[in-house]
Structure 1
Amino acid sequence: MNIAFVSNVVYPFVTGGAEKRIYEIGTRLAERGHTVTVYGRHFWDGPAEMEHDGLQLRAVADERDIYADDRRSITEAIEFAVRLYRPLAAHLDEHDLVDASVFPYFPVLAAAAATWRTDVPLVTTWHEVWREYWWEYLGALGPGGMAIERAAAAVPQHPVAVSSVTADRLAGLGPERSAVDVVHNGVDATRINSIEPVSEGFDALFVGRLVEAKHVDRLLRAVAQLDCEPTVGIVGDGPERDRLEALAASLGVADSVTFPGFLEEYDDVLAQLRAADVFVTASTREGFGITLVEAMAAGCTVVATDHPNSAAAEVVDGAGFLVEPDTDSLADGVDRALAGQQPETPPQARARTFDWEQITDEAESVYERVCGRQD
């Protein structure tokens, strides 16, 4: 097959879950003899069209910051979509299918326009479905975000969701649930376990963007309730960082809680996970939760929040402790994990079920069926 991926940002030149998924699946598909092209912004050094790790990279727009005031830039998404349409349409006869990453939504609309009334099917990969969260994210502009999301869900497509939770939420926008394939995100457990742990790791670790939906404040309050005094690392950055550092000081846990900030190198994050005993997240909105799988692969005991808008329960599935979305429950879960209590399923065994080779098998099967090549 000849497969085109659409993503405004391209891994490894920009790091993030959606673009990493394209890289991991795409490189493996290329190794299997498929031709894979990635349409994105020109984040790499070198010509606008070049080969990298078996992938054909095709820049349709210049490099640009995708965030504005700690939020995803709407103008960036619109500009990329406008730049995408013409080159994708011009090269469409080269491809057997197009897989557009959702979010942002505007490039999906451009890809839908390019493939409209052609024999080239459009696959969409949904990482999250926000629906009512748009009100919280954009305030008075929330209805606009909801309208664009609904528009992206309404175009002719073969939708893929990274979790059943995301698939269910997508079905609430219109597509039949039975029409949504679930292909999870993956992990390279072998690589993770080849990383040398940092010499002085944390007892408990959080990794993620410091935004309100992650509820890191709940983690800090839970730590303050513990009789023991674990060392806690909060790896990541975001608009909530100053407030969280002030909260740690006011709770009296500033001496045991460290904010290393955003770690540029992925291996540095893995080294922290390899050294930690417990991974904790109080997030209530996770379309998948790749750090949960990475933490399990690294051997951490996971403590995560069970919430209808989060795929944590689906991902962890007995290989960690799921708690209610409140401080007391989180404190109890962290306390049990730090005390050495073991989950029903070994975390590393659960992580192996998300191996990228298996995930690529599933994605390849979907692509072949969409292209009519599967019996």
Structure 2
Amino acid sequence: MKIAYIYDAVYPWIKGGVEKRIYEIGSRLAKKHEVHWFGLQWGEGNLGDIKFHGVGKGKNLYKGGKRSIKEALYFASKLLLKFKGEYDIIDCQQFPYLSCFSAKFHSIIKNTPLVITWHEVWREYWKEYLGDLGIFGLQIEEVISKLTKNNVSVSRLTQKRLHSLGVTSEFIPNGIDFKRIQKVSGKDEEYDVIFVGRLIKEKNVDLLLRAVEIVKNNVPDLKVLIIGEGPEKERLISLASVLKLSQNVKFLGFLRDYEEVISYLKSSKVFVLPSKREGFGIVVLEANASGLPVITLNYPMNASKDLIIHGYNGFISSPTPSSLAEYIEISLFSGKKFKRNCVKNAKRYDWENIAELTEKFYERVLNGC
């Protein structure tokens, strides 16, 4: 097969979940097939066996902590003009939406099946995200859901929300490089609680800090590590100071080296993901593969909670500081007994398995099934 992936952010220059998925699946499929990636030019170099096509210069993906509409328009227009070649499958990521129309145009012109991979379905969240302009996002999302019959959902939550629009989709989850994670050793310095992610409002890290304030009453020398950058960082550092947690919480910033992140996970006892909204949550699986129980929150748009079996490989907490604090303490004092469960759960999501599922789905699309 000759496969074309479409997404503006490109791994390893940008390290988000969507681009990571394309890179991991694409790299494995490229061993047997010809794989291309059309995105923006963020750096120099190749993507291993994936043939990369930069359709324009990399632009700021976010403005004020939100995805830039201007960047989405720029990518869609560049893609419309510079998408070249003949392919058996075009797989376009639903984000940042407008590029799906460019992909549809080329799929019609070239008579090529279009697959749209859905990482989230926002629906009512559009109004919260864009205010009065949210109605346009809602309408665009509905139109895109009708562009093709070949849809992929990366989480059960997204699959359910697509189904509410009358759209069927294939569930193919994100994954992890399980064997690579097992080879990494932990750091010498140990931490009790760790968070890894972009420091934006949706990640809800302030709730974690307020829970840590409670846990500190019983564990005065509690050590918390926060890895990541983002527009909320300075506010969170200030909040930690106000809560008298400056000696307990360390803000490490963004780490470019993947194995270093895994090493910090392996030197910690519990991973907390307090997000209000997650399209999947690969880091949950990475934490489980590192032997850590994961605590996440019971928010309607948090797909990562589908990866947790409560009391088996982690906990699903109510979105309150007191509830989160309770599960942090339980995990700290009995987390070791969860290690085997966590690793066993994560192993099912190895990228090799996910790539095989993707390949079989593409074959069914080509056969008209």
Q: Give the TM interval when normalised to the shorter protein.
A: over 0.9
Tell me the SS of whatever aligns to 2:191: coil
The equivalent residue for 2:16 is: 16
> 5 Å matches for 1:208-227?
208-226=197-215, 227=218
C-alpha distance 203-344 of structure 1, shift in aligned 2 (>3 A):
closer
How big is each residue's C-alpha offset from its partner over 1:22-48, in whole Å with a ceiling of 9 and x where there is no partner? 1111111111x21111111122325xx
Q: Quote the Cα distance in structure 2 between the aligned partners of 1:265 and 1:21.
A: 17
Tell me the SS of whatever aligns to 2:126: helix
Query: Is 1:30 equivalent to 2:30 in the alignment?
Result: yes
CA positional deviation for 1:11: 1.2
Letter in 2 for 1:107: S
Of the candidates 44, 49, 53, which is equivalent to residue 54 of structure 1? 49
Structure 2: 5+ residue runs without aligned partners?
A: none
CA positional deviation for 1:265: 2.2
Of the candidates 76, 81, 84, which is equivalent to residue 79 of structure 2? 84
Tell me the SS of whatever aligns to 1:120: coil
Q: Quote the Cα distance in structure 1 between the aligned partners of 2:360 and 2:68.
A: 34
> 5 Å matches for 1:10-159?
10-31=10-31, 33-45=32-44, 52-88=47-83, 90-91=84-85, 94-116=86-108, 119-159=111-151
Query: Is 1:331 equivalent to 2:330 in the alignment?
Result: no
Q: Quote the Cα distance in structure 2 between the aligned partners of 1:175 and 1:150.
A: 10
Q: Is the 8 A contact 1:306 1:324 kept in 2?
A: yes
Identity of aligned residues (%): 39
Query: Is 1:2 equivalent to 2:2 in the alignment?
Result: yes
Q: Quote the Cα distance in structure 2 between the aligned partners of 1:117 and 1:54.
A: 27
Q: Is the 8 A contact 1:5 1:38 kept in 2?
A: yes
C-alpha distance 52-208 of structure 1, shift in aligned 2 (>3 A):
closer
Q: Quote the Cα distance in structure 2 between the aligned partners of 1:353 and 1:119.
A: 36
Letter in 2 for 1:112: K
How big is each residue's C-alpha offset from its partner over 1:310-356, in whole Å with a ceiling of 9 and x where there is no partner? 22232123311221221111111000000124349610110001000
Tell me the SS of whatever aligns to 1:198: coil
Q: Is the 8 A contact 2:197 2:228 kept in 1?
A: yes
Q: Is the 8 A contact 1:189 1:298 kept in 2?
A: no
Q: Please, what TM-score do these two structures have when normalized by structure 2?
A: 0.93
Query: Is 1:228 equivalent to 2:228 in the alignment?
Result: no
Letter in 1 for 2:282: I
- The Cα RMSD (Å) is 1.8
How big is each residue's C-alpha offset from its partner over 1:190-237, in whole Å with a ceiling of 9 and x where there is no partner? 111222322213110011112222221111111111211310011112
Structure 1: 5+ residue runs without aligned partners?
A: none
How big is each residue's C-alpha offset from its partner over 1:62-85, in whole Å with a ceiling of 9 and x where there is no partner? 232222233221111111111112
Letter in 1 for 2:307: V
Tell me the SS of whatever aligns to 1:219: helix
The equivalent residue for 1:240 is: 232
The equivalent residue for 1:306 is: 298
Of the candidates 344, 348, 363, which is equivalent to residue 368 of structure 1? 363
Moved more, 145-154 or 342-351: 342-351
The equivalent residue for 1:320 is: 314
Q: Is the 8 A contact 1:320 1:345 kept in 2?
A: no
How big is each residue's C-alpha offset from its partner over 1:2-59, in whole Å with a ceiling of 9 and x where there is no partner? 111001122112221111111111111111x21111111122325xxxx631111112
The equivalent residue for 2:349 is: 354
Of the candidates 188, 194, 207, which is equivalent to residue 183 of structure 2? 194
Q: Quote the Cα distance in structure 2 between the aligned partners of 1:359 and 1:326.
A: 34
Q: Is the 8 A contact 1:320 1:344 kept in 2?
A: no
Tell me the SS of whatever aligns to 2:43: coil
How big is each residue's C-alpha offset from its partner over 1:272-308, in whole Å with a ceiling of 9 and x where there is no partner? 1111111012213111111100100111121111333
Q: Please, what TM-score do these two structures have when normalized by structure 1?
A: 0.92
Tell me the SS of whatever aligns to 1:203: strand
Q: Is the 8 A contact 2:292 2:339 kept in 1?
A: no
CA positional deviation for 1:106: 0.7
C-alpha distance 350-126 of structure 1, shift in aligned 2 (>3 A):
same
Q: Quote the Cα distance in structure 2 between the aligned partners of 1:175 and 1:4.
A: 27
Q: Quote the Cα distance in structure 2 between the aligned partners of 1:68 and 1:309.
A: 22
How big is each residue's C-alpha offset from its partner over 1:144-164, in whole Å with a ceiling of 9 and x where there is no partner? 222222222221241101111
CA positional deviation for 1:137: 1.8
Tell me the SS of whatever aligns to 2:301: coil
Tell me the SS of whatever aligns to 1:99: strand
Q: Is the 8 A contact 1:280 1:304 kept in 2?
A: yes
Q: Quote the Cα distance in structure 2 between the aligned partners of 1:344 and 1:52.
A: 34
Q: Quote the Cα distance in structure 1 between the aligned partners of 2:14 and 2:339.
A: 36
Q: Quote the Cα distance in structure 1 between the aligned partners of 2:75 and 2:22.
A: 18
Q: Is the 8 A contact 1:278 1:300 kept in 2?
A: yes
